[in-house]
Homo-oligomer: A and B are copies of this chain.
Amino acid sequence: MGQQPITFLRQVMALCTYPNLLDSPSFPEDAKKRARRILQACGGNSLGSYSASQGVNCIREDVAAYITRRDGGVPADPDNIYLTTGASDGISTILKILVSGGGKSRTGVLIPIPQYPLYSAVISELGAVQVNYYLDEENCWALDVNELRRAVREAKGHCDPKVLCIINPGNPTGQVQSRKCIEDVIHFAWEEKLFLLADEVYQDNVYSPDCSFHSFKKVLYEMGPEYSSNVELASFHSTSKGYMGECGYRGGYMEVINLHPEIKGQLVKLLSVRLCPPVSGQAAMDIVVNPPVPGEESFEQFSREKEFVLGNLAKKAKLTEDLFNQVPGIHCNPLQGAMYAFPRIFIPTKAVEAAQAHKMAPDMFYCMKLLEETGICVVPGSGFGQREGTYHFRMTILPPVDKLKTVLQKVKDFHMKFLEKHA
């Protein structure tokens, strides 16, 4: 999509990979300092050695320090940090531990609809029960606790709801949850004794000037000891999103709070079977949580590159919302965060019938036609889940501004023709 890697991150990674470069005058001193620190914490001073299954110690310490800074001083314990192979690995591992209780009834896992399909896939793999709660499209995809309450009440008939998954900022829906909403969710989890699973991989991707990212961890602690020492929480972050976009390194971490010591023992055992997350991904995670600071040689370039990526994403979020909302039959909520638009599309009855004739979901039919006629690939809403009778697609806003404008114009033209054809 044309987004360039952050120079500092790649410099540190290259130095760690081939330490001969530590003598090269073409690398800045702050990058060398980071690389030396990471290597000193690795077995044999090498990215090629296994690390502890929970991850390299000093990187877990850096993650804890990052969380403490991010959350305005709320403490984080390195012992609660687990480095992972991207966030997906952390999420599946925690779900595996939580689902394997083996009680009388099957474990219910609450997930938002629309959701990121990792959740439904892992729930199905584990033989757990997927319990849907619907985000409120009319209200900018907000999470309403009354809807959570309804979902839990109805689920209790056929499973034992134990886990509540939240994606904030939302994927595919792009909403950023308000502090009030997070408080309500935490209170609900406390009432219902639900394990909270907060997917916060888009925490650096907030564009709307009216929104801020609030971590579940921070809000939990600020709600007082009754909550902070009782509610179980796992939160996830990764190197794949934010301004760095280093998906290929599969770096990530999870912070797990109030986990029962016995379950913690099982978690460590489960992680040790796979030996360790990729050490190169762990190193990338370290640079994300421990970037150049004012006064360091690389600070200015780093800040410029970071602001360029995030500034452009904010522009593209606005542009996408505005352009979609000019098209009759498309409605797009504000893209407050993350990296996607998830517009609602009107599909005429004749097109729904044509889709049925092809044994396709109507939005799949729409997306296939879009692909065939324009070469643009978007993902139908039915892949994420949506209210019966509504149709959507997910489109990333990552392409460069000019390209994105062209894409949006093409989608608009296609949509108008599609409406006309199936009128």
Q: List chain A positions with a Cβ less than 8 A from chain B.
A: 1-3, 5, 10-11, 13-14, 17-18, 21, 24, 26, 42-44, 46-51, 85-86, 88-89, 92, 96, 117-118, 121-122, 125, 240, 244-250, 270, 273-281
Contact = CB atoms under 8 A, between A and B. Distances in A.
Contacts of A14: 14, 17-18, 21
A349 to B, nearest CB: 33
Given A14-B21, A18-B13, A280-B278, A118 B47 contact: no
A248 B42 CA distance: 9
A129 to B, nearest CB: 17
A48 B275 contact: no
B92 A274 contact: yes
A335 B248 CA distance: 38
A273 B117 CA distance: 8
A13 B250 CA distance: 16
Contacts of A249: 47-48, 278-280
Which of A11, A24, A248, A278 is packed against the most chain B CB atoms within 10 Å? A248
B50 A247 contact: yes
A51 B248 CA distance: 7
B273 A88 contact: yes
A48 B89 contact: no
A21 B86 CA distance: 27
A278 B18 CA distance: 18
Contacts of A274: 85-86, 88-89, 92
Contacts of A50: 240, 247-248
Given A10-B18, A250-B278, A278-B278, 12 more contacts: A10-B17, A14-B21, A17-B17, A24-B26, A47-B249, A48-B244, A50-B240, A50-B248, A86-B275, A88-B275, A249-B280, A250-B275
Contacts of A13: 17-18
22 contacts: A2-B44, A13-B18, A46-B248, A47-B249, A48-B247, A48-B248, A49-B247, A85-B250, A85-B278, A86-B275, A88-B274, A88-B275, A122-B273, A125-B270, A247-B275, A248-B278, A249-B278, A249-B279, A249-B280, A250-B276, A278-B281, A280-B280
